[in-house]
Amino acid sequence: MADTASACLRVWLDREGALLRLRLNRPKANICDAAMISALHAAFDAHRTAPLRGVLLDAEGPHFSFGASVEEHLADRCAAMLASLHALILAMAEFPAPILVAVRGQCLGGGLEIALAGGPIFAAPTAQFGQPEIKLGVFAPAASCLLPWRVNVAAAEDLLFSGRSIAAPQALALGLVQAVADDPEAAALAYFDEHLGPRSAAALACAVAAARGSRVRELRARLAEVERLYLERLMSTHDANEGLAAFIAKRAPQWQHR
């Protein structure tokens, strides 16, 4: 398959068709807005029945992603944004081949949620990982479900409640990252060549389904639960709307704690 590119995503097949390559293609921020989410979802759907042994998701430029579009988090748009993002998360969790992720620079918010929906994460030494949503008076719905799959509950709650970022070595120690390498794309490709490329695509599809089956069922229910919490409770608070408005206006938020 030839290299194809939208305004935000490059898609091509590598390793004689065994590896699907997806590259976020709107540097430097690679914002995961409606267009990016739609392009990713379409790429996964288009290759779901192909005899793949893996996927490599990476990004053009110095950063993986600064996260989702803050404007799309506003009250009149957030329902559609969450529905599309969570549909992508489920499509990735159910994809019948391992999804490798290579991260450089910042991997934040919705960008980290998409990375978490994949499989092993390979990170540059200077990569940073975080869920800063709480700083805007909101929370990270998908990460609330996905982070405990990767790290212990205390570490997941620390990242979700503090909004702080951690560097790649700490992410490695927590189990969030599979490996730290100067060239994370090369490390991911080497992993594919040694561990996935020689395998049967049919066997890998069954192995992915076996490993993730119960967690995917739980994820589907939990995403629906946290989506309701976000839309029906959080977005009815003063502080959620104030935090988003303050970020867009580039001013400090004025919390009223209600």
Is the pTM for the entire model greater than 0.85?
Answer: yes
pLDDT given at position 3: 65
Which has the closest alpha carbon to 192: 254, 139, 122, 87?
Answer: 122
pLDDT given at position 2: 54
Q: Is 220 exposed, middle or buried (0-12, 13-18, 19+ CB in 10 A)?
A: middle
Helix (H) or strand (E) holding 27: none
Distance CA 193, CA 214 (A): 28
pLDDT given at position 119: 87
Fold of 4-196: 2-enoyl-CoA Hydratase; Chain A, domain 1 (3.90.226)
Q: Which pLDDT tens digit goes with each residue over 144-182?
A: 999 999 999 999 999 999 999 999 999 999 999 999 999
Centroid of chain to Cα 148? 14
Which has the closest alpha carbon to 140: 119, 118, 117?
Answer: 117
Q: Is residue 1 predicted with pLDDT exceeding 50?
A: no
Distance CA 184, CA 107 (A): 13
Write out the two tokens for 23: 């590259």
Which stretches of 91-248 are assigned E, i.e. beta strand?
99-103, 106-108, 121-123, 128-130, 165-167, 179-180
Q: Is residue 206 predicted with pLDDT exceeding 50?
A: yes
Q: Which pLDDT tens digit goes with each residue over 128-153?
A: 999 999 999 999 999 999 999 999 99
